[in-house]
Amino acid sequence: MHTARPSSRSDNCRVPEFAPLRDQDVDRDPLRQFTAWYQDAHASGLREPAAVAVATSTPDGVPSVRMVLLKGFDERGFVFFTNYESRKGRELEDNPRAALLFYWDPLGRQVRIEGPVARTSAEDSAEYVRSRARGSQLSALASPQSQEVPDREWLEQRVSELAEQFRDAELPLPRAWGGFRLAPERYEFWQHRDDRLHDRVVYTPGDGGGWALKRLAP
């Protein structure tokens, strides 16, 4: 087994200063807390602050995880889109629970969100599909996501054929493509500390409504 070694930093390497996550600074509403951190991630210049790992599992507990892009969030939950016939789509149909993980390294922050998942409405999915660039729409139509294909040329040929077929027309909506919304039951906000005594704050449903907060040891 290979052992990971701590990275060495030269004297000329600028080390970021991470703001601690103090109890008095944590918003009592996890959605407002997430919104503030998400805005910070956008302001930091990250190439893709909306990138999020989505973990799913089969009914008998075999896990899988992959990166997707968050496409929206509000009090109803967190939305991402995929092919419903992909591995994650099939797993979410069979076991409709998932976990999200945002990792914003320049800020030393992670956010974990867990909860049940349901499909978005057909209208919401169609609206999002129509908002995508034509090239992205063609790729979604051409790709049988998670299924074996002969080679890349086969995929590129599919895209070319569809582009020619619908050259002067609106592209049809992919039959098995749409959104999922995760409704949070648990949030965890993680803030890096250089001494490894990291901050971890968890929100879970309160007994009388609202959210209960607690701090976890790192």
> Strand runs (DSSP E) across the chain, as ranges?
51-57, 63-69, 72-74, 77-83, 97-104, 109-119, 177-182, 186-191, 199-205, 211-215
Per-residue model confidence (pLDDT) at position 16: 54
Helices (H), the chain: 30-43, 87-94, 122-131, 134-142, 152-165
Per-residue model confidence (pLDDT) at position 169: 86
Q: What is the CATH number of domain 24-41+48-130+175-215?
A: 2.30.110.10
Low-confidence spans in the chain with pLDDT less than 70: 1-16
Contact between residue 104 and residue 110 where contact means Cβ atoms under 8 Å apart: yes
Contact between residue 216 and residue 200 where contact means Cβ atoms under 8 Å apart: yes
Per-residue model confidence (pLDDT) at position 1: 57
Per-residue model confidence (pLDDT) at position 7: 41
Annotated active-site positions, please?
196
Per-residue model confidence (pLDDT) at position 10: 39
